[in-house]
Copies of this chain bind each other. A is one copy, B any other.
Amino acid sequence: MAGKQFDVVGIGNAIVDVIAHVEDAFIDANDLNKGIMTLIDADRASTLYSVMPPAIEASGGSAANTMAGVASFGGSVAYVGKVRRDQLGEVFRHDIRAIGVHYEQELAEDGLPTARCLILVTPDAERTMNTFLGISSLLEPEDVREELVAAGRVIYCEGYLWDVDSAKAAIRKAMEIGKANGAKVALTLSDTFCVDRHRSEFLQLVEHYVDIVFANEAEICSLYETEDVEEALLKVRGHAEIACVTRSARGSVVLTADEVVTVPSWSTGEVVDTTGAGDLYAAGFLHGYTAGKDLFTSGWYGSVAAGECIGHTGPRPECNLAELVATIAVPARV
């Protein structure tokens, strides 16, 4: 794989986040599904926005956050996702390019507006996401340029894309190009309800196709329809070449056929907003992996990136992750 232009090529829903801090009563009063991602239509987005407190806008999107993270570590990355030529689309394009991600997609001249995710962060730092996909839902196979994807050593795909048929076709095209060009294919399961919606396809992918899978404990349990994490870990270990399972404050566990590597978490001491934590864990791991680090060190990079992310409002790094990780001693392996 040496000599390829990009360490990672990511594909996902291109979204601008609209983030407000609320009390738990707001979640209840507005019938929101705390802690998970719910798809909403334009009318619901408008209604929910009208009752939200003042917010800030920040570029988001799960795979886009991950690519931003890898770039912040100094990795070479590209991203595929669709935004409109509107103010939020320009914000999205600016932010992802400014952090060093190759993003060549033209802004769409017509169609739905750029996707936005209305995020309510409660005092426990948990985020509740309500996504209006807008033009992101119109991602289609022709948006996936073969030469671009073929230049990636890892093709990183977001489970959320399965929610829309044309996007699913686009991601399958990306995976196939990757496989045909000797890339590793990575998939994040994204969200327990996303797993619920697409369990049979995700199982098929994890068991027979994907090389690296990212999930948290709830998602991996949902995939195998068990409440027993150990059982789920045992199952995934026999399938994907590498499975990275995050466990919030307890860090993560990285599993291969030969190894089970336990990785501690890291934090600045402040936990403000968990939006993007899983995305940034994947960023750290993928950077370590593509830089030739061992599984423990790669997982540790994930812990540092996730820890930085939850220390502030917004889903992307606010500092240079390469510099940050260099200042923190890698802990002894347990």
Contacts and interface: CB of A to CB of B under 8 A. Distances in A.
Interface of A: 18, 21, 49-50, 52-59, 68, 86-88, 91, 94-96, 98-99, 113-114, 314, 316, 318
Contact of A94 (B55, B98, B316): B55
Given A88-B87, A113-B87, A56 B94 contact: no
B55 A95 contact: yes
6 contacts: A53-B99, A54-B68, A54-B316, A57-B57, A87-B87, A87-B114
Contacts of A55: 91, 94-95, 98
B98 A53 contact: yes
Contact of A87 (B56, B86, B94, B314): B86
Given A87-B113, A88-B87, A56 B53 contact: no
Nearest to A58: B56
A209 B299 CA distance: 65
Contacts of A316: 54
Nearest to A101: B54
Q: Most B CB atoms within 10 A — which of A54, A55, A314?
A: A54
Contacts of A113: 87
A59 B54 contact: yes
A55 B316 CA distance: 10
A280 to B, nearest CB: 14
9 cross-chain pairs, A with B, having the tightest CB-CB distances, nearest first: A57-B57, A87-B87, A54-B95, A56-B58, A54-B98, A54-B99, A87-B88, A53-B98, A56-B56
B314 A56 contact: yes
Given A87-B87, A94-B49, A56 B54 contact: no
A334 to B, nearest CB: 34
Contacts of A56: 56-58, 314
A50 B18 CA distance: 22
A318 B21 CA distance: 8
Q: Most B CB atoms within 10 A — which of A49, A87, A95?
A: A87
Contact of A50 (B50, B58, B94): B94
Given A52-B94, A57-B57, A57-B58, 5 more contacts: A54-B96, A54-B99, A54-B316, A55-B91, A56-B57
Q: Most B CB atoms within 10 A — which of A49, A52, A95?
A: A95
Contacts of A57: 56-58, 91
